[in-house]
Chains A and B, each alone.
Chain A
Amino acid sequence: MKHKIRKLRYLVIGVMLLLFVMTTVAPKSARAQDLLTFEKRMTEFTLDNGMKFLVLERHEAPVVSFHTYADVGAVDEVKGITGMAHLFEHMAFKGTRTVGTTDYESEAKALALADQAFEAMKLERRKGDRAHKVKLEELQKQLEQAQEEIQKYLVHDEFEEALVREGGAGFNAYTSQDATQYILSLPSNKIELWMSMESDRFANPVLREFYKEKDVVMEERRLSTESQPVGRLLEEFLAIAYKAHPYGEPIVGHMSDLETLTRSEAEMFFKKYYLPSNLTVAIVGDVNPKQIKELAEKYFSRIPSGPKPDPVETVEPPQLGQRRVIVQDPAQPFVLIGYHKPNINHSDNAVFDAITEIAGIGRTSRLYKSLVKEKKVAVAASGFPGMPGNKYPGLFLFYAVPARDHTNQECEEAIYAEIEKLKTEPVLPEELAKAKTRSRAGLIRQLDSNSGLASQLTFYDVVTGDWRNLFKQLDDIDKVIAEDIQRVAKQYFTNKNQTVGIIDTTITEK
């Protein structure tokens, strides 16, 4: 609930998009107007400590959506602490020094005892077979005793209750490779409640119930990855697509890392990444920007400033040849084909967007027409960019779900035939026109929801440097010509730059 693995969502969304195209067209002139009317309703400000706010007035209903975008995700982890960004997201619901506890000072002592016991156990376990069994049992007892002591001071789920009681809706958080995002909507007379809770969350967090929450996250890993055929495939696929860059590591983390993560490691992670300079907030709805600014200063100024953390500097080296992973599984076949591409700020980004519209999405897309309607080898087929992230160079991912009695190989070949066509023949003018129309329409469709807008504004502002790019991306796609598509297809969709992952059904249907 508090977490969705982005990569899975994209895939599901991809499938959904194929089945239900829900977009609409905007007249060409609407674009400029959108930006203009938006600028009028937008207020931007940055606090002295570096925290940025984007405020958009939308008085349709007396409600407000809040979106906090922390520019830290799984990509910022190193080996040994995979899963940390996501685990921290869970911990951010556990309260503060004054929320979730009856007596923080006594609680802190008990928390320290639990940490000592856990860290001693970790050391002892490193000895492997030579680990002292009795000692481990004693430490386990100490840990449990400390946890019982902690329970005395705990006010369970007070953070959630305080917000839900006042009518909080859409209360959730997401961790992706690129970011950690916290979302909530409230009736518009409760703005100060969000200010109080959200600022306290990042000014005075207490990582309580840490070891129990690790168990919850391990269940989440079992649920989303280990017990799901496509989850298993994706983890293997990304691991071979990236040998250097952390995009190859799972967001939820490796089981062994989850087992050994400590609370002090989580606190260090927090101190490094949850600085005001690394946080951007969008507030959309029935608000008065002046009041928002006053309240933001009153509440968020208490978070001490610090330097913006360094980005990931590891660069994925060019591939030397095709990579392929075959997951042997009882599940039905599935095929993924990925090509490394630049990040979202590269000048070819709009060309990839056009390719997505022409080849990847909708009933008239080339992949759907060829694989599903005509050859009937697949029940779904699509292609889209930004997997597993957009901030750093990600993959353009094609996938197909083979129809019954059809194979991965047939689907793979049909996808290659479409890719070849992109390289050798210019796309038709009407295909290009359709791509542009649909992009515009897609944007208009996103403007009717407070929470959707808040999410888009923070994404574009943080990842592309300016929220206006939400609109300007349309200018870029308008400039795309048929030759661009051929050039990009030839340059990136090469055998050498390719990673393939398939589910090979080892137990066939009876």
Chain B
Amino acid sequence: MRAYKSSAGRTVIFGILVLCFIVTSCTQNSPLHYKQLKYSKLGDIQIPEVQQVTLTNGMRLFLLEDHELPLISVSARIRAGSIYEPPDKIGLAAITGTVMRTGGTVSRTGDEIDEQLELIAASVETGIGLNSGSASVSVLKNDIDVGLDILADVLMNPAFREDKIMLAKIQHQSSIARRNDDVGSIAAREFEKLIYGSDSVYARHTEYATIGSISRDDLVAFHKKFFGPDNMMLGIWGDFDTDIMIRKIEKAFEGWEKVDKQLPKVPSVEYEFPKTVNMIRKDDVNQSNIYLGHIGGLRSDPDYFALILMNRILGSGFTSRLFKNVRSREGLAYSVFGIYSANYDFPGLFYVGCQTKSEATIKAIRAMTDEVRKMTESEVTDEELALAKDSYLNSFVFNFDTKGEIVGRLMTYAYYDYPLDFLQKTKENVEKVTKKDVLRVAKKYLRPDEVQILAVGRPEDFDEPLSVLGSVKEIDITIPVPKK
């Protein structure tokens, strides 16, 4: 019975195919409108399995073989960051991260490492950011031993030579001197300070004085405190054999002592939703840089999935309301953006912003605030929700198109102690979001009447005085004079 049924089914399908063939062959030369198109199902996404191993010294490994090209990449993540540096030594983490590599190791100078690597066109780099340290290697597979050897040496035995500390300080001092040249970075930097507070570890920045007070001893101590195998994870992808690679790594990091992992908790953020209007004068521009918003959220929040779709509808990409209305319809800005951002372990920011000609500043602020308010007042349309969901789900495959991002994502989840299948969970939850959910989270998280507004530009050219929005505070961005 079964066999019979199925062969009958096949005949029917075959008949239809023949019919289709006849029909399409008549019209096969006439192009179809996109709405007429039908798509086959996308082949299953082959998500390669990342091998996870924890070495006896506590180092956690994530390995993924990829034999397409004769290359190997390594990416390390170390629990460290500028959030752990003292307020009078801002810049310590960054300089430590730079000089670990440029200052060389006990057995070779940084310049010698440069020569050695560039002869084989390889790279080994290190750095320390806000809440994690990183190191990377990129080599042809035949040079992996050299790459691992240098990586391990740099991580385990940095020499912190004084000449390269000085060079790193010159770089930092020069960027302080240049930090008010670019209007976009002024706006981003000062807006973060408004939201987190100017002394917050999440917004503070270097000054001549904080760079000046950093010594070699500080670098040595900072390194010693954070760099050890049990405080680090290592991702490796490329053209290698996993078992052999594990042995190579064990050997390269042999004898490295563990560190005391009792790190203080990541600082929390207190936020009281003040309503403020702020202005920074910049005379050499004819366009205002505008930000407005308040504190954002965490990815671990169960509402994160609905917020992803809310962001897509409000402000991210070519099809968002902000893009359509502020850019396409009003022609007010080339760049307009808005997002309720969520971080892994401390709150992100909610902001909308754009750059618009000075004479349209207030108009643009109102137009953007209106879009935020609308999100909180009524449900999005079925079409908007469908577009946001379809685009998220249909582009999901691009999460897996390079090996590096597959390994990197897994390490990120592990680093912040998120479920390793967080991306799959996100997908499943995004699929379930309704219009009601989007409105609920918009009402809950967006407060259009309790925003802090920042405009950087030439206030005398504004269409209306900024004070129509509230009492204006002028922020002084003069760079504090260095102590000689």
| Interface residue ranges, A against B (CB under 8 Å) | 1, 20-27, 30, 60-63, 93, 98-99, 156-157, 160-162, 164-169, 171, 185, 187-190, 192-193, 195-197, 199-200, 209, 211-220, 222-223, 226-229, 297-299, 301-302, 329-332, 362-364, 372-373, 376, 379, 401-404, 430, 433-434, 437-438, 440-442, 444-445, 447-450, 509-510
Contacts and interface: CB of A to CB of B under 8 A. Distances in A.
Contacts of A27: 70, 140, 142
A444 B143 CA distance: 15
Contacts of A216: 327-328, 331, 333-334
B263 interface: no
A25 B120 contact: yes
Contacts of B114: 363-364
B178 interface: yes
B481 to A, nearest CB: 7
Interface in B361-383: none
Nearest to B46: A61
A212 B331 contact: yes
B416 interface: no
A510 B479 contact: yes
Which A-B residue pairs are the 7 nearest by beta carbons? A167-B394, A215-B331, A441-B121, A227-B285, A220-B334, A212-B331, A167-B395
Interface string B330-342: 1111110000000
Given A169-B395, A329-B284, A404-B176, 14 more contacts: A22-B138, A23-B138, A24-B138, A27-B140, A157-B319, A165-B387, A189-B43, A215-B332, A219-B331, A299-B31, A302-B31, A403-B174, A438-B118, A444-B69
20 contacts: A24-B138, A61-B401, A99-B34, A157-B318, A157-B324, A161-B387, A164-B391, A167-B394, A189-B40, A193-B37, A196-B37, A216-B334, A329-B284, A362-B118, A434-B121, A440-B121, A442-B121, A445-B71, A450-B401, A510-B479
Contacts of B334: 1, 216-217, 219-220, 223
Given A22-B138, A169-B398, A212-B330, A161 B319 contact: yes
B387 A441 contact: no
Nearest to A203: B31
B356 interface: yes
Contacts, number: 248
Nearest to A34: B69
B5 interface: no
How extensive is the interface on chain B, given as a class?
35 or more
A24 B122 contact: yes
Contact of A199 (B31, B70, B287, B328): B31
A276 to B, nearest CB: 14
A330 B34 CA distance: 52
Given A222-B287, A373-B111, A437 B120 contact: yes
A169 B393 CA distance: 12
B329 interface: yes
Contacts of B400: 61
Contact of B333 (A161, A219, A227, A297): A219
Contacts of B479: 509-510
Contacts of B19: none
Contacts of A193: 34, 37, 39
Contacts of A21: 117-118, 123
Given A24-B71, A161-B387, A197-B34, A63 B118 contact: no
B7 interface: no
B33 A156 contact: no
Contacts of B327: 216
Contacts of A93: 318
A181 to B, nearest CB: 17
Most chain A CB within 10 A, of B28, B41, B287, B324, is at B287
Interface stretch (B165-173, B190-198, B245-253, B430-438): B165-173
A199 B30 CA distance: 12
Most chain A CB within 10 A, of B120, B177, B318, is at B318
B331 A26 contact: no
B54 interface: no
Given A61-B401, A226-B287, A298-B31, A447 B331 contact: no
Given A21-B118, A219-B355, A209 B328 contact: yes
Nearest to A200: B31
B309 to A, nearest CB: 14
B402 A449 contact: yes
B119 A434 contact: yes
Interface in B101-133: 111, 114-115, 117-123, 125
Given A26-B140, A156-B324, A332 B181 contact: yes
Nearest to B283: A330
A101 B398 CA distance: 31
Nearest to A378: B174
Interface string B459-484: 00000000000000000001101000
B170 A403 contact: yes
Given A99-B34, A226-B287, A449-B402, A510 B119 contact: no
B314 to A, nearest CB: 15
B171 A437 contact: no
Nearest to B47: A61
B14 interface: no
B53 interface: no
Contact of B177 (A98, A332, A449): A332
A25 B34 contact: no
B394 A165 contact: yes
B251 to A, nearest CB: 22
